[in-house]
Structure 1
Amino acid sequence: MKPFCFADGKIIPTETATIHPTDLGLIRGYGIFDFFRTVNYQPLFLEHYLDRFIASAEKTYLPLEYSREELRQIIAAVIEKNDLQQGGIRMVLSGGVSENHFSPATGKLFMYAESLMFPSEEKYQNGIKLLTLEHVRAIADIKTTNYTLPVWHSVNWKRLGAEDVLYHWNGLVSESSRSNFFMVKDGTIHTPDQHILHGITRKHLIQVADQVIIRPIRLEEVWEADEAFISSTTKVLLPVTQLDDRKIGNGKSGKITLDLLEKFRVLEKKTIS
């Protein structure tokens, strides 16, 4: 965590930021957030993240008392104050202090800066393991702060040699706990269309890929996939080479996966330059 954040309408030392003990974000786990990277002091794909954050506030009935331009100015101030050349900015809007301790209220906006560490190069080269988990995330198209199940479940991941989970429900896969999911079969990339957060990295990977089919994907298809990977802001694109105790494809990072990673890195450079 970097030393300065935005809270209570101003830039303050991060350690002094507070939230009311009856805020719904604390007592009900109700709130929204978003997270984006900075590259050479510039927010990467900022307008897309602001689109999602503003839409999430509307969908969760949380008043956002700042305009898009004011949000841009706050972000710029947080980046400058923290000298955040490379890192991350987290935007959080809490559920607010509700009269009945349940209904959405006027929440509190926080913006704070974080150091950012990508997965090791070994994980990009060798891939990662996911665990199947029967679950569908509530209101998946909204980036809420409720991660109770995966946080609880993550206690087992390290013991089982896994990086994360792959959610499935009624035979269909959706996403990982913090990432979107893709699979490759016969040279074509496929990604689920239901019960997912529409990730910004996912959006741009689809843009730079030659072809991506967006459709329902059955769990059985993943077992038979040639390649698989997950995508997120903090991982970009991470190959998946094992699901539970079964290898995906030949158990190695696939060519299509790694080629797409390079295409995204080229896009990133163009966006910032």
Structure 2
Amino acid sequence: MKPFCFADGQIVPTASATLHPTDLGLIRGYGIFDFFRTVDYKPLFLDNYLDRFIASAERTFIPLPYSREELTEVIYELIEKNDLKEGGIRMVLSGGISENHFSPGEGKLFIFAESLIFPSEEKYQNGIKLLTLEYVRPVAEIKTTNYALAVWHSAGWKKQGAEDVLYHQGNYISESSRSNFFLVKNGELITPDSNILLGITRKYVMELAGGAHVRPVTMQEIRDADEAFITSTTKVLLPVTQIDDLKIGSGKPGPVSLGLLEKFRQKVGGLALTDK
């Protein structure tokens, strides 16, 4: 964490930020968040992230007592105060203190500035492994703070040499725990259409690719795929070369994945993905 954050309606030392112990964010795990990068002191895709954050607050019935303009002003002030040329901004809105300890109350807004750690260059060159897991995130279209299963499960991924999990329900794939998922077949992108968070990086990658087939994706299609990759703010576009014991395509990152990654680097600029 960087030295300064936004809490209690003002910019304060990050170490002094507090949350009441009966806040629903703590006792029920109920809250929302969003996270985006800064590149050369500018927040990347800010309008898209604010759209999603404000919509998430409305859909979770948590009051957000700040306008888009006020949020934007705070974000830019935090970037300057923390000298955040290349880094991350995390917005968190807690579920609030509730009279019945269950219904959403007046949420408390925090905005933090953070350093970023990208995956190693080796992972971009060699690809990563995912493990399938039958699960659908609650209210998957909203970026809630409920990552209990993923956090609990993560120790097991590492023991099996995996980067993350790939969620599915029955025969249909949805997403990774913190990323969107794509297949490539005959040069065309395919990505699931339901039980997913509509990722901002996902959206931008589809624009770079000139579109994608957004539709139900089956487990069988993994076996027939030429390439696969995941997208997120902190991973950008990370090739997937193995799912469980199955090798994807040639077992190496493919030309479509690497080409889109290079396009993203050229368009966005900023922090090199090889930085650790």
Q: Which residue of 2 aligns with 1:208?
A: 208
Distance, in Å, in 2 between the alignment partners of 1:133 and 1:220 is: 15
User: Alignment RMSD, CA only?
Assistant: 1.0
Matches within 5 A, 1:1-273: 1-269=1-269
Distance, in Å, in 2 between the alignment partners of 1:184 and 1:143 is: 26
Distance, in Å, in 2 between the alignment partners of 1:224 and 1:153 is: 28
State the shift of 1:153 in Å.
0.4
State the shift of 1:211 in Å.
3.5
State the shift of 1:187 in Å.
1.4
Q: Which residue type is aligned with residue 107 of structure 1? A: G
Distance, in Å, in 2 between the alignment partners of 1:50 and 1:250 is: 39
Unaligned runs of 5+ in 1: none
Unaligned runs of 5+ in 2: 271-276
Q: Which residue type is aligned with residue 204 of structure 2? A: H
Provide the secondary structure at the position in 2 that maps to 1:155: helix
Distance, in Å, in 2 between the alignment partners of 1:85 and 1:163 is: 28
Distance, in Å, in 1 between the alignment partners of 2:179 and 2:98 is: 31
Distance, in Å, in 1 between the alignment partners of 2:211 and 2:96 is: 43
Distance, in Å, in 2 between the alignment partners of 1:223 and 1:159 is: 24
Distance, in Å, in 1 between the alignment partners of 2:17 and 2:162 is: 34
Distance, in Å, in 1 between the alignment partners of 2:229 and 2:181 is: 6
Distance, in Å, in 2 between the alignment partners of 1:110 and 1:75 is: 11
Identity score, percent: 70
Q: Which residue of 1 aligns with 2:273?
A: none
Return the TM-score normalized by structure 1.
Answer: 0.97
Q: Which residue type is aligned with residue 219 of structure 1? A: M
Provide the secondary structure at the position in 2 that maps to 1:158: helix
Return the TM-score normalized by structure 2.
Answer: 0.96
